[in-house]
Amino acid sequence: MTLMRRLDELHLEHPFLGARKLARLLKDEGFAVGRRHVSTLMWRMGIEAIYRKPRTSLPDQAHRIYPYLLTEVAIERANQVWATDITYLPMAKGFLYLTAILDLYSRKVLAWRTSNTLASDFCIEALQEALTRFGSPEIFNTDQGSQFTAEAFTEVLKHNAIRISMDGKGRWIDNVFVERLWRSVKYEEIYLHAHETPMQVNQALSKYFDFYNTRRPHQALDQCTPDAVYFGSGQLKQAA
pLDDT of the residue at 97: 94
pLDDT of the residue at 1: 72
pLDDT of the residue at 138: 97
pLDDT of the residue at 5: 85
Give the torsion through C-alpha atoms of 100, 102, 108, 113, to 10 deg.
-10
pLDDT of the residue at 179: 84
- The pTM for the full model equals 0.80
pLDDT of the residue at 92: 87
pLDDT tens-place values along the chain, 240 residues long? 789 888 888 888 887 788 888 999 998 988 989 988 889 888 888 777 764 333 334 444 556 889 989 888 899 999 999 999 999 999 988 899 999 999 999 999 999 999 999 899 999 999 999 999 999 999 999 988 889 999 999 999 999 999 999 976 445 556 678 888 998 999 999 999 989 999 999 999 999 999 999 999 998 889 999 999 999 965 665 444
What is the C-alpha separation between 132 and 110, in angstroms, rounded?
Answer: 10
pLDDT of the residue at 215: 96
pLDDT of the residue at 144: 83
What is the C-alpha separation between 111 and 98, in angstroms, rounded?
Answer: 11
In three-state form (DSSP H/G/I as H, E/B as E, the rest C), the secondary structure along the chain is CHHHHHHHHHHHHCCCCCHHHHHHHHHHCCCCCCHHHHHHHHHHHCCCCCCCCCCCCCCCCCCCCCCCCCCCCCCCCCCCEEEEEEEEEECCCCEEEEEEEEECCCCCEEEEEEECCCCCHHHHHHHHHHHHHHCCCCEEEECCCHHHHCHHHHHHHHHCCCEEEECCCCCHHHHHHHHHHHHHHHHHCHHHCCCCCHHHHHHHHHHHHHHHHHCCCEHHHCCECHHHHHHCCCCCCCCC
81-231 CATH fold: Nucleotidyltransferase; domain 5 (3.30.420)
The count of residues in the chain is: 240
pLDDT of the residue at 53: 37
Range 23-48 burial, b when 16+ CB lie within 10 A, else e = bebbeeeeeebeeebbbebbeebebb
What is the C-alpha separation between 139 and 137, in angstroms, rounded?
Answer: 6
Contact 23, 38 (CB under 8 A): yes
Question: Could you state, in order of their start, the residue ranges of all structural domains in the chain?
Answer: 2-45, 81-231
pLDDT of the residue at 55: 36
